[in-house]
Amino acid sequence: MKNVSNFHPSVLADSLVPWWERPGLSIQDDRLVIAGHDALALASKYGTPLFAYDLDRLEDNFFRLYNAFARQEHPFQVFYAVKANRYAPIVKTLQALGLAGIDAASPREVHAALEAGFPEERITFTNVSVSRRDVEQLKGLNILLNCDSISMLHKVADIDPGRRVGLRINPQVGVGISENLTYAGARATKFGVYLDALPEALRVIQDRGLRLQGLHMHVGCGWTGSAITQFFQAVDRLINIASDIIATFGPLEYLNFGGGLGIPLKAGDSSVDVNLYAQGIVDRVRQLGLGIKVCVEPGDYMVKDTATMLSEVVMAENKGGVNFVGVNTGFNVHCGASHYGLFQEFIHTERASQWPTDTVSIVGNINEVIDVFAADRAMPPIAEGDILAMINAGGYGTSMTSEHCLREAAVEAAFSQRGNPFATGE
Ligand SMILES: Cc1ncc(COP(=O)(O)O)c(C=O)c1O
């Protein structure tokens, strides 16, 4: 057995490679390299905060999932939940592949998807607290409309009579990386039609002349590994509901199982076995025996590990016994840690494989206590002027940018070592 106690804690016990290293994210001579570019050189060329994207990784992520479903030989559609990241090179890359759809969470996202060239039938709209104005803005479009409430069904019947609709169900079983990322389960949430309200929702669809096209669920985000068992419990619930509905309403065109697939965030984390995921879903849908199309709509899984956030250390000081490392950005450009408590891995761009000597808290430049990227983190020596890399920054970062404290948005640049035409950096 190897003695690994002299290696950086991000190194897995049975290997000398950091857990996060992969094609497009590696170490050369102790320096971090992103999509073939020296991270420090990128920071000085583009300025910081910088989100450096690897478009090749996006393609790999998409095809890993797509191929897992293709192998099942059953009708399917992968939609990308564009709320996770709407950076143009990401959206254009997926559009150009000609296989992906878009899941939109607002009429503006729907219209952006149309402008990007996605056909109407490959766009879904799934959202909560939907207004009459929202429905008016979607009227006449042949997109898949997943209705989230009885209220929304009435609005659609008023504004777009006779429309085909999907119904978002809350199966009351959920799974997520944390409570705030669990959308269904013991705690009541605002999402979907609950089982006790289902008879009324179905009555409204029938009485008001709407046509039921499909069912939808999205039960939580960020789950990995063995949590798939709990995800399948929710799938089973939806299958049972679908079976009952088909018995009275006739066949459905699609069942949409939402997104939620997570990725490893730290050493030792598991990933999602996408073959198990696709097979588990399709096998269950096949039991219904009708060739119903399987839909999924991941966001994070597609984009989270496509971007690395580079920021400059502007303050390194012990305060109250804590070694604070302050960087030149904050939760205004990435709120994964501050809002959702997510673990965000940091790498020193010039000491990428060095043994950590210090325990630090990496904090942002927003005037809020919660503006912490990483607490009590073991890092190599850090000084003002150094550039730090936060990996897995591609999901729900820049798309949630705010103007809090009027701090700047980040610069974004996209790279590809395979000649992707939508790369913006060279
Ligand atoms: C309805 C719906 N679908 C898909 C997603 C995408 O989730 P994730 O990025 O975790 O895959 C979300 C995220 O909130 C959602 O609300």
Tens digits of residue pLDDT in 325-367: 999 999 999 999 999 999 999 999 999 999 899 999 999 999 9
In terms of domains, do 101 and 202 share one?
Answer: yes
Instruction: Encode pLDDT of 373-407 as tens digits.
Output: 999 999 999 999 999 999 999 999 999 999 999 99
Phi, psi of 317 (to 5 degrees): -155, 145
> What one-character-per-residue DSSP string does 103-119 give?
EESSHHHHHHHHHTT--
Residue for token pair 């609709």: 165
Question: Distance from the CA of 297 to the center of ligand 1, in angstroms?
Answer: 7
The predicted pLDDT at position 338 comes to 96
Is residue 11 a part of any domain in this protein? no
Pocket test for ligand 1, best of 223, 271, 297, 303 (most atoms within 8 A of CB): 297
In terms of domains, do 185 and 230 share one?
Answer: yes
Region 254-264: mean pLDDT is 98
Instruction: Encode pLDDT of 25-48 as tens digits.
Output: 999 999 999 999 999 999 999 999
Indicate the residue among 303, 325, 354 that finishes a domain: 303
- Work out which ligand 1 atom sits closest to the CA atom of 221: 10
Nearest to 389 by CA among 131, 7, 37: 37
Q: Is any ligand 1 atom within 6 A of the Cβ of residue 258?
A: yes
Is residue 14 a part of any domain in this protein? no
Please classify residue 159 by burial: count the beta carbons closer than 10 Å to its beta carbon, then call 0-12 exposed, 13-18 middle and 19+ buried: middle
Q: Is any ligand 1 atom within 6 A of the Cβ of residue 301?
A: yes
More confident residue, 156 or 180: 156
Summary mean pLDDT of the chain: 95
Q: Is any ligand 1 atom within 6 A of the Cβ of residue 101?
A: no
In terms of domains, do 204 and 135 share one?
Answer: yes
Nearest to 171 by CA among 146, 147, 195, 142: 195
Is residue 18 a part of any domain in this protein? no
Q: Is any ligand 1 atom within 6 A of the Cβ of residue 297?
A: yes
Q: Is any ligand 1 atom within 6 A of the Cβ of residue 425?
A: no
For residue 411, what pLDDT band results from cuts at 50, 70 and 90? Answer: very high
Query: What's the structural domain count of the chain?
Result: 2
| Residue numbers of the domain that contains 329 | 25-54+305-415
Indicate the residue among 272, 288, 303 that finishes a domain: 303
- Work out which ligand 1 atom sits closest to the CA atom of 84: 9
* Protein residue with least CA distance to atom 4, ligand 1: 259
Region 144-151: mean pLDDT is 97
In terms of domains, do 45 and 142 share one?
Answer: no
Is residue 13 a part of any domain in this protein? no
Is residue 426 a part of any domain in this protein? no
In terms of domains, do 225 and 311 share one?
Answer: no
In terms of domains, do 343 and 386 share one?
Answer: yes
**Do residues 10 and 367 lie in contact, with contact meaning Cβ atoms separated by under 8 Å?**
no
Question: Distance from the CA of 103 to the center of ligand 1, in angstroms?
Answer: 9
Q: Is any ligand 1 atom within 6 A of the Cβ of residue 299?
A: yes
Q: Is any ligand 1 atom within 6 A of the Cβ of residue 221?
A: yes
Q: Is any ligand 1 atom within 6 A of the Cβ of residue 81?
A: yes
For residue 17, what pLDDT band results from cuts at 50, 70 and 90? Answer: confident
For residue 3, what pLDDT band results from cuts at 50, 70 and 90? Answer: very low
Indicate the residue among 247, 277, 303 that finishes a domain: 303
Contacts of 111 (CB under 8 A, 6+ apart): 137
Is residue 5 a part of any domain in this protein? no
Q: How far apart are CA 426 and CA 420, in angstroms?
A: 11
- Work out which ligand 1 atom sits closest to the CA atom of 168: 1
The predicted pLDDT at position 185 comes to 86
Q: Is any ligand 1 atom within 6 A of the Cβ of residue 168?
A: no
Is residue 386 a part of any domain in this protein? yes
Is residue 279 a part of any domain in this protein? yes
Residue 146 has pLDDT above 60, yes or no: yes
**Do residues 216 and 126 lie in contact, with contact meaning Cβ atoms separated by under 8 Å?**
yes
The predicted pLDDT at position 10 comes to 53
Instruction: Encode pLDDT of 70-117 as tens digits.
Output: 999 999 999 999 999 999 999 999 999 999 999 999 999 999 999 999
In terms of domains, do 86 and 154 share one?
Answer: yes
Residue 6 has pLDDT above 50, yes or no: no
Question: Distance from the CA of 229 to the center of ligand 1, in angstroms?
Answer: 19
In terms of domains, do 80 and 181 share one?
Answer: yes
Region 54-81: mean pLDDT is 98
Pocket test for ligand 1, best of 183, 218, 219 (most atoms within 8 A of CB): 218
Judged by average pLDDT, the poorest of 15-29, 85-99, 223-237 is 15-29
Looking up residue 165, the CATH number of its domain turns out to be 3.20.20.10
In terms of domains, do 294 and 185 share one?
Answer: yes
Looking up residue 325, the CATH number of its domain turns out to be 2.40.37.10
Q: Is any ligand 1 atom within 6 A of the Cβ of residue 170?
A: no
In terms of domains, do 293 and 310 share one?
Answer: no
Residue 2 has pLDDT above 80, yes or no: no
In terms of domains, do 280 and 371 share one?
Answer: no
In terms of domains, do 238 and 385 share one?
Answer: no
* Protein residue with least CA distance to atom 12, ligand 1: 259
